[in-house]
């Protein structure tokens, strides 16, 4: 077990990662349960003295979940003066924090929030040395969370929904060739609402990022549905410049 040396990190700044995993029908969020706690927490960590916050977020995510190369997006920094006070006292009482890190942890912390949207299947949840469990939880059944992590999760979700308004989504989350109902299921999972089938298809096609293929998904009970794929260069351009419904 590696020991935690507080002098490796800048004081008073943490980061928390909200990892959304799409499983084909709904969104899940990756959570850890700390030793001795009933509540769960977002995967998080600290920034090394010479490290960029974005690199710290990738390192933490890799350490705590085994996942690398996720596109992590910083979305907000959480700065309520009392955001960790109560639970840190509990961590200390339960002896989860080493004595040498006591002062480091009892100072006030602000936390940088990052989110990512990924395919449920590529993540192999693995608990870190502070935690007993690491697992996906569907968004409609999130357990009690430590600190202000419920608020961080909700703001991340709002960001993902906003992002959907002006950027494409789906690459790495859907099969290479997908049906329109599969793409719609992704949008519905993110927005948590049903969309009209015809309007959905019309709007998505109007973006110019999806190509209709002359192929159908076979081996299904009903009529074989049409397959689509993303147009690589148009998709990349829209990721960068935004969708074509922008001003």
Compute the distance between CA of residue 226 and CA of residue 230 in angstroms, rounded to an integer: 14
Residue 14 C-beta-side C-alpha neighbours within 13 Å: 23
54 binds a second copy (CB under 8 A): yes
By CB under 8 A, residue 181 contacts a second copy = no
Q: Of 136 and 187, which CB lies nearer to a second copy in the complex structure?
A: 187
Instruction: State the number of CA atoms in the 13 A half-sphere of 240 facing the CB.
Output: 6
**90's torsion region: left (phi>0), alpha (psi -120 to 50) or beta?**
alpha
| The only residue of 4, 6, 11, 127 in contact with a second copy, by rule CB under 8 A | 11
Shortest Å, Cβ 148 to a second copy: 12
User: Would you count residue 164 as binding a second copy (CB under 8 A)?
Assistant: yes
Residue 120 near a second copy by CB under 8 A: no
- Contact flag: residue 187 with a second copy (CB under 8 A): yes
Q: Among the candidate windows 32-40, 106-114, 131-139, 231-239, which touches a second copy by CB under 8 A?
A: 106-114
Q: Which of 35, 108, 150, 226 binds a second copy (CB under 8 A)?
A: 108
59 belongs to the binding site for a second copy (CB under 8 A) = no
Look at residues 175, 237, 174 and name the one whose alpha carbon lies nearest to residue 208: 237
Find the binder of a second copy among 24, 74, 135, 136 (CB under 8 A): 74
DSSP state of 225: P
CA angle 221, 214, 242 (to 5 degrees): 105
Is residue 207 part of the contact set for a second copy (CB under 8 A)? no
- Residue 143 binding a second copy, by CB under 8 A: no
Question: Does 172 engage in binding with a second copy (CB under 8 A)?
Answer: no
- Interacting span for a second copy (CB under 8 A) from 70-78, 86-94, 116-124, 209-217: 70-78
Closest CA to 171 of 245, 236, 83: 236
Please state, as a whole number, how many other Cβ atoms lie within 10 Å of the Cβ of residue 121.
10
């Amino acid at each position: 077990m590696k020991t935690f040396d507080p002098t490796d990190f800048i004081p008073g700044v943490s980061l928390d990662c909200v990892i959304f995993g799409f499983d084909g029908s709904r969104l899940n969020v990756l959570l850890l349960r700390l030793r001795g706690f009933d509540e769960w927490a977002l995967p998080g960590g600290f920034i090394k003295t010479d490290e960029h916050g974005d690199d710290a977020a990738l390192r933490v995510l890799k350490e705590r979940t085994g996942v690398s190369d996720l596109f992590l997006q910083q979305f907000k920094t959480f700065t309520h003066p009392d955001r960790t006070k109560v639970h840190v006292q509990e961590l200390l009482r339960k002896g989860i924090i080493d004595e040498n890190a006591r002062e480091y942890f009892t100072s006030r912390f602000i936390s940088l929030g990052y989110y990512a949207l990924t395919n449920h299947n590529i993540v192999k949840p693995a608990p870190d040395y502070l935690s007993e469990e690491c697992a996906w939880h569907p968004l409609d059944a999130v357990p009690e969370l430590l600190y202000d992590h419920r608020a961080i999760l909700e703001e991340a979700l709002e960001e993902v929904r906003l992002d959907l308004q002006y950027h494409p989504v789906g690459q790495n989350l859907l099969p290479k060739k997908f049906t329109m109902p599969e793409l719609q299921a992704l949008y519905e999972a993110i927005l948590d609402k049903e969309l009209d089938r015809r309007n959905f298809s019309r709007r998505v096609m109007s973006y110019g990022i999806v190509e209709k293929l002359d192929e159908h998904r076979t081996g299904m009970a009903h009529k074989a549905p049409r397959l689509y794929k993303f147009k690589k260069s148009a998709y990349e351009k829209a990721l960068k410049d935004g969708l074509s419904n922008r001003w």
